[in-house]
Amino acid sequence: MTSSPTATRAVRLALSGVVAGILAAGALVTPAVHAVAEEPPSLHLVTLTGPGTSAPAAGGSRPTRAALLARQDSVLAGIDAAEPAYRWTTALNGFAVALTADQVSALEADSEVVTVEANSVRPMAGRLMSPEASANPLSRPREEGGRGGAGVVIGVVDSGIDPESPLFADVPYLGPDAANYSGLCTVGEEWPAAACNRKLVGAGWWVAGFGEDRIRSSETLSARDAIGHGTQVASVAAGNSDVSVRIDQRTTGTFSGVAPRARVAAYKACWAAPDPVDDGCATADLVSAIDQATADGVDVLNVSTAGPSTVDTVQRALLGAAEADIVVIGAAGNAGRSALAGHPTPWVTTVGAARGSTLRGQVRVAGGPSLTGASRSRRDVGPVQLILGSDVAAAGARVRDARECRPDSLDAGQVAGKAVVCVRGGIGRVDKSLAVSRADGVAMVLVNDRAGGPSTTSTASRPSSSPRHRVSASSAGYAGAPGPPFASSRCEPALGRRVQQAGRRPVTPAPRCSSPTSSRSVRVSSAPSPTPGHCSPAPRQPAHASVGSRPCSVPTTTGRRRSSARS
């Protein structure tokens, strides 16, 4: 039978509709295929079996650096890894390298590998003061005699150092040079070779773990201290003796480190971040600094960072330093009597102490709260109007800059004669106080903008109070609300100066000196971070003139070498 053309076309159209429907239905039920992106490689610390060159291996043979590097190359080739950011051969045998998850798994199964640990950032110890410790001052022992650290090199792994401070000047009483130290003075930003001298004998810096892209704009890629923590620790341990100190145009006495005749080598492994809450020390940078200090031959090595409760790569590196006959000191932290020591390993000496000698200031807001904080000011201010920096931005300035009281960000016409609330962060605390002063403000209140933020020690360009805690929206509202909010500041006397310490063995401290570490619950008067016009006789003085009114003395130990900027 022959079909008509019209019928045939109708059948074709019907079939095409059925096929199209099947294809469409298939499109609805076909599962979508999504590409799963792999996690990018991240930095890890890898420790291999066997010691570094600082200690003999089993059987009395000492491994060579070339042999350790060959073993590292073999392990790296087995996982097709990139070139390591760091290699360690002295305090331990290992490296820091970017790894994928699969490479981590492969290394964990390798019999040549002891540990594979992700790089992390630790806070510096001693950034906060425990209220409990302030309220519980203890008795202070005394020791007589001693050599003042003559012939000893103290390596300080921290945030760097201020080379212009008179506490690290070349002075005649240092005595002969340290014969066994072989460290270098690494040139960097704002750090010429002349920054080192017979007192400050070595300097280096490591940043690959923290990341150059994460550091604050005011930081320098050198051993120069942008935070003040490393300068403070080094000054406490080995600052020159009888250095006159002036704060707020007032002489507060003289300062001495525990071992004023000792030399200092600065190993910068801690960095300032845009937000001070993120300041810290990457574990990869810490291990690199410890490894170099061990190779350089320091006699004493101080690490003032928060420690873990387990034996990690940093602790293994410190063990290697101890095996090289280096006295290793770890900070106890400032968490109070009930806190545990930050370094639980037996090869790290941790000195604990407690003292209460804080100069306090109080901001009293009319009809509002009273805020108590650290203050160096010796005079009362007010009542004056209290304003937020963010409400008085200068023409053309960003509100955020005014909020942080950055230079030239405040409108002098609105600030003159008033007290300004400045938020912590971005720039140094003294720079904020100076900005208020230049805008003709009469006082500054420095606050954290989050709970548990960094300490807010006092400044000196204008009478300042620095509450430790976050100022709540309701509290700050008194400054920002319409009408005439007034505040007055009142200075309170310091608590009695008493201290108790314990250590491996006592050594005579220099007059009015302090702990060799950032010890538990201690505020020490020490070299603050660089700030013009606050320290005599040098034209610069660091901003960490600490909250405590006087330094204290604690035991230290003395014993028996090049720093490289491996960035």
The secondary structure of 153-180, three-state, reads EEEEEECCECCCCHHHCCCHHHCCCCCC
- Which H helix or E strand runs over 492? strand 486-492
Question: 């937020």: which residue's tokens?
Answer: 388
* Topology adopted by domain 42-118: Alpha-Beta Plaits (3.30.70)
CA dist 60 and 52 (Å) reads: 13
Asked if residue 256 lies in contact with residue 511, where contact means CB atoms within 8 angstroms, the answer is yes
Decide the pairing of beta strands 531-532 and 153-158: unpaired
Beta bridge partners of 388: 421
The amino acid sitting at 456 is T
3-class SS string, 85-101:
CEEECCCCCEEEEEECH
CA dist 534 and 527 (Å) reads: 11
Examine the pLDDT at 447 and tell me if it is beyond 60: yes
pLDDT of residue 416: 94
Residues 6+ apart with CB under 8 A from 71: 48, 93, 112
At the second CATH level, the architecture of 131-357+497-541 is 3-Layer(aba) Sandwich (3.40)
Residue ranges of alpha helices (H) inside 381-428 are: 399-403, 412-415
Outline which parts of the chain fall under CATH 3.50.30.30: 360-492
CA dist 490 and 535 (Å) reads: 25
Q: Residues, the chain, total? A: 567
Q: How confident is the model at residue 39 (pLDDT cuts 50, 70, 90)?
A: confident
pLDDT in tens, 196-252: 999 999 999 999 999 999 999 989 999 999 999 999 999 999 999 988 877 666 777
CA dist 522 and 509 (Å) reads: 16
CA dist 60 and 168 (Å) reads: 40
Asked if residue 422 lies in contact with residue 446, where contact means CB atoms within 8 angstroms, the answer is yes
Q: Which CATH number fits domain 360-492: 3.40.50.720, 3.50.30.30, 3.30.360.10, 1.10.10.10?
A: 3.50.30.30
Outline which parts of the chain fall under CATH 3.40.50.200: 131-357+497-541
pLDDT of residue 450: 62
CA angle 70, 74, 78 (to 5 degrees): 165
CA dist 549 and 288 (Å) reads: 36
pLDDT in tens, 304-351: 887 777 889 999 999 999 999 999 999 876 665 555 666 778 899 987
CA dist 286 and 378 (Å) reads: 40
The amino acid sitting at 366 is A
Residue 328, classed as helix, strand or coil, is: strand
CA dist 536 and 514 (Å) reads: 19
Outline which parts of the chain fall under CATH 3.30.70: 42-118
Neighbours of 44 (CB within 10 A): 24
Examine the pLDDT at 445 and tell me if it is beyond 70: yes
Decide the pairing of beta strands 327-331 and 486-492: unpaired
pLDDT of residue 424: 85
Orientation angle between helical segments 283-296 and 313-323, nearest 10 degrees? 10
Q: How confident is the model at residue 381 (pLDDT cuts 50, 70, 90)?
A: confident
pLDDT of residue 459: 47
Q: Is this prediction's pTM over 0.75?
A: no
The amino acid sitting at 343 is H
Concatenate the DSSP letters of all residues of 451-463 into one string.
TT-------SSS-
> Does residue 163 have a cis peptide bond before it, meaning omega lies within 30 degrees of 0?
no
Angstrom CA distances, 441 to 115, 445, 534, stand at 55, 11, 19
pLDDT of residue 130: 36
Residues 6+ apart with CB under 8 A from 443: 377, 381, 382, 384, 419, 420, 436, 462, 463, 464, 465, 489
Ramachandran assignment for 534, one of left (phi > 0), alpha (psi -120 to 50 degrees), beta (any other): alpha
Beta-strand runs (E) in 164-239? 200-205
Examine the pLDDT at 129 and tell me if it is beyond 70: no
Most confident segment among 12-21, 177-186, 280-289, 330-339: 280-289
Beta bridge partners of 421: 388, 445
pLDDT in tens, 258-278: 999 999 999 999 999 998 889
